Amino acid sequence: MYALSMSDERQKPGPSGQTEADPAALLDRVARDRDKAALAELFAIFAPRIKSMMMKLGADAALAEDLAQETLLSVWRKAHLYVAGRGAVATWIFTIARNLRIDQLRRQSNKPYVDLESIEIESDARGAPSLLEESEIVDRVSRAIETLSPEQREVVRLSFVHELPHAEIAVRVGIPLGTVKSRLRLAYDRLRPMLEDLH
């Protein structure tokens, strides 16, 4: 049986029990000052969460940890490419982890994913930056996800956290593929007004 952890969606305090530092400020210190203490704080926040996500999608502990390490090393090397105001640092790190997982776990010779920023780097059609703080962005998206129906939240989590293709979600939940897609569409319709001004 497949246990969905619906109750673990609340943000955890940092390892010391204190409020975590703002990841955007930490990333800025990494980019500008090559500050390893800031990298260590980003590691403390994100590496255990990336490891957890990778294990949910089927990686063993050692591989999950390698992918978490690789992600943080990429954060160190790509920090100067992060465009402040283009979304939460958590989102940026999620996409780095996602792309590494696709390249490594599936051992693909090609890289079907590209960095959206690299596509846009010479484009003048950039959207307006968000004026919200990192934590506010993440809180608002998390609250928006809480407003989904249990059925919608289940398919969203199976897709984004467990990273199952739609066809596998259909088998896992025991619903037709078309129902998986329609639940995701309804979930997006619901989330959209709350996501609109956040990126």
Partner 1 sequence: MTIAFHPDISTLMAWSAGTLDEPFAVVVSTHMAMCEACRETARRTDLIGGALLKAETAEPMSDGALERLLEAADDERIDLPEPRGSDSVDPSVPQPLARYLPDGLDAVKWKFSGPGVATCELPTGTNANGRLMLLRVGAGKRVPEHGHGGQELTLILRGAYGDRFGRFAAGDLADHDEDVEHQPIAEPGEDCICLVAVDARLNFRSRVIRTLQPLFGF
d(CA 43, CA 20): 12
Q: Which tokens sit at 25? A: 């400020």
d(CA 32, CA 160): 31
Identify which of residues 2 and 122 has a Cβ nearer to partner 1 in the complex.
Answer: 122
Is 90 near partner 1 (CB under 8 A)? yes
Query: CB of 61: closest distance to partner 1 in angstroms?
Result: 8
Range 61-67, long-range pairs (CB < 8 A, 24+ positions) = 63/105, 67/97, 67/100, 67/101, 67/104, 67/105
Query: CB of 10: closest distance to partner 1 in angstroms?
Result: 7
Site for partner 1 in 96-125 (CB under 8 A): 97-99, 101-102, 106-123, 125
Range 67-71, long-range pairs (CB < 8 A, 24+ positions) = 67/97, 67/100, 67/101, 67/104, 67/105, 68/97, 70/100, 70/104, 71/46, 71/47, 71/96, 71/97, 71/100
In a 10 Å sphere around its CB, with 0-12 CB exposed, 13-18 middle and 19+ buried, how is residue 199 labelled?
A: middle
Query: CB of 174: closest distance to partner 1 in angstroms?
Result: 18
| Binding characters for partner 1, 43-82, by CB under 8 A (x = yes) | xx-xxxxxxxx-x-----x--xx--xx--xxx-xxx-xx-
Total interface residues for partner 1 by CB under 8 A? 96
Is 141 near partner 1 (CB under 8 A)? yes
Query: CB of 123: closest distance to partner 1 in angstroms?
Result: 8
Selected from 67, 92, 154, 173, the binder of partner 1 by CB under 8 A is: 92
Buried b (16+ CB within 10 A) or exposed e, 43-80: bebbbeebbebbbbeebeeebbbbbbebbbebbbebbe
Query: CB of 33: closest distance to partner 1 in angstroms?
Result: 13
| Binding characters for partner 1, 150-189, by CB under 8 A (x = yes) | ------xx-xxx-xxxx-----------x-xxx-xx--x-
Identify which of residues 118 and 174 has a Cβ nearer to partner 1 in the complex.
Answer: 118
Identify which of residues 1 and 162 has a Cβ nearer to partner 1 in the complex.
Answer: 162
Is 16 near partner 1 (CB under 8 A)? no
Is 32 near partner 1 (CB under 8 A)? no
